[in-house]
């Protein structure tokens, strides 16, 4: 009886010479070449990641992003979150959250800075 399977090291050598088949190994390559690597996370991607991850953790809808900046460790954002919907909408409660992302776009922390009614002017100094 002859062994028709290639040894593991031979198999890996053969696949490196053959053109990649559709779907074979592309997921690993895509992860390795992801735009979420250090220094290549664009501001729009940081904003998207912050919104998605904060919503996932808190279960609350992110209304807007009021500020963001790059830091040595990644990104620091301030987002406005709808905490309690009321009628009329000007009486709804919003909260400002500070959100920190690392350089790969992973949320590393958040904290609520303040709560306010949507219709109130900003009295922070």
Tell whether 105 is covered by a domain: yes
Does the residue 60 lie in any domain? yes
Q: What is the CATH number of the domain that holds 60?
A: 3.10.450
Half-sphere exposure of 1 (CA within 13 A, CB side): 2
For residue 75, is it within any domain?
A: yes
Stretch 101-122: mean pLDDT: 92
Q: 59: domain range?
A: 43-117
Please, which pLDDT band fits residue 41 given cuts at 50, 70 and 90? Answer: confident
Look at residue 90 and tell me if it is in a domain: yes
Within a domain: 111: yes
Is 22 part of any domain? no
Domain count, the chain: 1
What average pLDDT does range 104-110 have in this prediction? 96
Cα–Cα dist 104/39, whole Å: 8
Q: Which of 76, 25, 88, 17 is nearest to 49 (CA)?
A: 76
Closest to 65 in 3D by CA, of 92, 40, 83, 46: 46
Average pLDDT value for the chain: 78
Question: Average pLDDT in the 83-101 region?
Answer: 95
Q: Is residue 17 part of a domain?
A: no
């Amino acid at each position: 009886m002859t062994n028709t399977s290639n040894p593991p090291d031979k198999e890996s050598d053969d696949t490196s010479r053959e053109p990649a088949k559709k779907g074979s190994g592309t997921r690993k390559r895509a992860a390795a070449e992801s735009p979420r690597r250090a220094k290549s996370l664009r501001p729009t991607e940081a904003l998207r990641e912050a919104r998605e991850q904060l919503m996932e953790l808190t279960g609350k809808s992110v209304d807007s992003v009021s500020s963001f900046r790059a830091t040595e460790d990644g990104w620091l954002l301030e987002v406005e979150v709808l905490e309690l919907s009321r009628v009329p909408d000007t009486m709804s409660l919003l909260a400002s959250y500070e959100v920190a992302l690392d350089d790969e776009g992973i949320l590393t922390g958040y904290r609520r800075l303040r709560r306010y009614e949507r219709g109130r002017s900003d009295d922070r100094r």
